Structure 1
Amino acid sequence: MQVAELLVRPHPIIAGWVARREKEIRKGEQVYDRRLKRLVRPSAFTPQERRRHRMLDALLKALEAQKILVTEGERLELFATSGRERIEFQFRAKLQQVRRPLTADEQRWRSSGDKDYKLELVETDILIFEVKGWLPGGLRRNWQDGRKGTVEMMVGDILATLVAAFPLMAVEREQREKAEERRRIEAQRRYELEQQRKLEENRFRRLLEHAGRWREAELARSFVAALRAAIPDPTVVIEDKLASEWLDWAEARATQYDPLASDPLDVFESIADVTNWTYRDR
């Protein structure tokens, strides 16, 4: 794949960048204050930027020829999309840290012992193509100018790598989705087993409650029978009620308390009504 020496009929994204810059330059020309104009007027594209545009133009057109959609984000980031997979990439200049002499104002506020320079990052003439993020299969993610050649010579390799990445990304995404589905199913199975265990515990708790009431009712009836035998005069009045009436009351209450006093199947009806939320103390 060849990178053109001149930008002719640029890709819409590149054309948009050029149009915006030209509009900003024209707007800056309308500022009449010379000092303010120097601050607000943008400069024309540098040779390095134009070089970047030519390489991007060639790459974007080649990607779209491969049925790969190319889009621009809100912050001018670039994306290549195929199906459900997306790759973010950029051309950028390599940065280098340099020492910058202090300005007059900085010199004025400089303290004794302070360095007489500032460290800054500046762009170099070396261009880098970078895939922002991870690529599957150990695919290469960075290309840059070097002894082996310029990035222009590597655009074909960049294109081939991006094209090859998409099916690998699709396979890995499908594998992740299947693994996630298995985890979801297993988690649902554990949840359902836990809910079933809790329901069984609550139902057994209700059964124990009925058993406890039955035992207590039996104990109460036995106690009332013992009372009848122990009380010599059932006609004794206690709180306006005969002792025999108190005995009848106690026996009736014990019978009402007994879960087997009515239909025994009501016990299982009561157990069937139990839910996981019947007992709030667990």
Structure 2
Amino acid sequence: MSPTHIERVRLYELVWSRPMSHLAKEYGLPSQKLKEVCDKAGIPTPAPGHWQRIAAGKKVSQPPLPDAPPENSLLAIAPYTPRMRAPAPSGNAHGTDQGLELSPAARPKQKKRGVRSGPDLEVPAKLGRAHPIISGWQEEHKRQTEEAKKYRWGGVGFAPAPLTAMDRRRYRILNTLFKAIEKVGGKAIEEERKAIAIELDGEKIPFQLREKQRQVRRPLTESERRWHRPGDKEWRQELQPSGKLIFEIKHYLPSGFKRQWLETDETPMEELLPEIFDILKQVAPILAQQTQERLERQRLAEIAAHERYLAEQARKRDDNRWQRFLELADAWQQHEQARHFLAALTRLEINRDTSVGDMTLAEWLTWAESRLVEGNPLNHGVEALFTDIEKITSYTSFKKTIY
């Protein structure tokens, strides 16, 4: 689309006639870009809350347009075209999320297995000095075990299951990862129900390290056979530990980044840890940038919605002011009809001393004339009439005034 040329004075008038977001749409660009055009041309723009104060009926000030050189009197407003990024790769062998695009520099780098990078990621054979989160889990397990011994009933205590070799191995891997993340400026976070996450570059990335379960068929026990009926299956299917750890990032990732690692007999989780650490380091700044962009879009959407709300308030208030004007016009028309009617009555040949109720006809005519004076909308002048209209600051409906 070709740029729109507009006089500097005309753009100044338009900017102060309606909200910036509404005007910017007519030129095909965001309100921030239109404000940049105004700032560059030395055109003052309404301050935040300007249209809200107008909708509330408050007085606002409008600064005059400063002088500018003659060569700057004609402005060109070019439509805004956002920069397009290259499409993301369509293939996804690891089940990662689709629809997020990355530049070639931001795509995950292929690393050779076993190559170490960054902090020391060698998982020790013994836990040694545990991270506060790991030591907290150990203390909690010890406390629950001791309490179960104190409150044993009938020879049975509600003690937690003893820590297995797989539990201790999982603790050592997490302990190594937590410390490595902290060495590069991040931190480990424990959430509800022992859920864990890391925070890196201001972005929280939840993950899970657990033992993978597998479905197996087992024979029926003696108690289960008692309820067995002809035709029922001779086995039960249930989940059992597989003896293999699985690491899963519980967060969407840009396309091309792996989210899940399952150890094998040839490659244990300890050897996969450097690759996991590198992926976390790469995606954290990308996710942080996407979060900032999302929050900025949300902020701009809220501003636009608020401006639409204020514009709707102003429109409704203007409609009510017009309704008040029509009411005053109806009152004036009724007043004119009453005035002509009273004039016709006074021209009739009547006995003014005749009593009607508690007043004479002369007193009735005087009463009608006084009412005409009181009910004339123009009795106090045009300025007073529009002062009455200007007092309507609410956009809600109001009761019709009866004269």
Q: Same fold (TM over 0.5)?
A: yes
Seen in structure 2, the aligned counterparts of structure 1 residues 70 and 277 have a Cα distance that, compared at 3 Å, is same
Quick one: structure 1 residues 188 and 27, their matched pair in 2 at CA, closer, same or farther if it must change by over 3 Å? Answer: closer
Superposed displacement of residue 90, structure 1: 1.6
Match of 1:171 among 289, 297, 305: 289
Alignment match, 1:126: 244
Q: Hey, what's the Cα distance between the residues in 1 that align with 2:129 and 2:307?
A: 59
TM value normalised by structure 1? 0.87
Cα offsets for 1:35-58 (capped at 9, x unmatched) = 515xx3444322222221221121
Deviations, residues 14-52 of structure 1 (Å, cap 9, x unaligned): 233334434445555668778515xx3444322222221
Aligned to 2:298: 180
84-93 vs 224-233, which moves further: 224-233
Deviation at 1:117, TM superposition (A): 3.5
Partner of 2:115: none
The 2-side partners of 1:145 and 1:258 are apart by 93
User: Using the alignment, how far apart are the partners of 2:351 and 2:266 within structure 1?
Assistant: 120
1:9 partnered with 2:129: yes
Residue 191 of structure 1: how far off its partner (Å): 0.9
Alignment correspondent of 1:18: 138
Task: Supply the distance in 2 between the matched residues of 1:34 and 1:215 (Cα, whole angstroms).
Answer: 98
Q: Secondary structure of the residue that 2:248 maps to in structure 1? A: strand
How far apart, CA to CA, are the structure 2 residues paired with 1:179 and 1:56?
Answer: 36
User: By how many angstroms is 1:77 displaced?
Assistant: 1.4
Counterpart CA distance in 2 for 1:43 and 1:227 is 107
Which has more helix, going by share of residues? 1
- SS at 2:156 equivalent: helix
1:86 partner letter: K
Give runs of aligned pairs for residues 71-110 of structure 1, distance below 5 A.
Answer: 71-82=189-200, 84-110=202-228
Q: Could you tell me how far 1:2 is from its partner in structure 2?
A: 2.0
**Residue in 2 aligned with 1:66?**
184
Given that 1:220 and 1:251 are in contact with CA atoms closer than 8 Å, whether structure 2 keeps it comes out as no
Secondary structure class of the residue paired with 2:347: helix
- From the CA coordinates, give the structure whose radius of gyration is larger: 1
The residue type paired with residue 128 of structure 2 is V
Q: Percent identity?
A: 34
Tell me which residue corresponds to 1:245.
363
In 2, Cα distance between equivalents of 1:148 and 1:225:
113
Q: 2:148, 2:365 → 1: CA distance?
A: 107
In the comparison of the two structures, how many residue pairs are matched? 279
Shift of 1:255: 2.2
Give yes or no for contact 1:131–1:142 (8 Å, CA) kept in 2. Answer: yes
Q: What TM-score, normalized to structure 2?
A: 0.62
Gaps of at least 5 residues in structure 1 are none
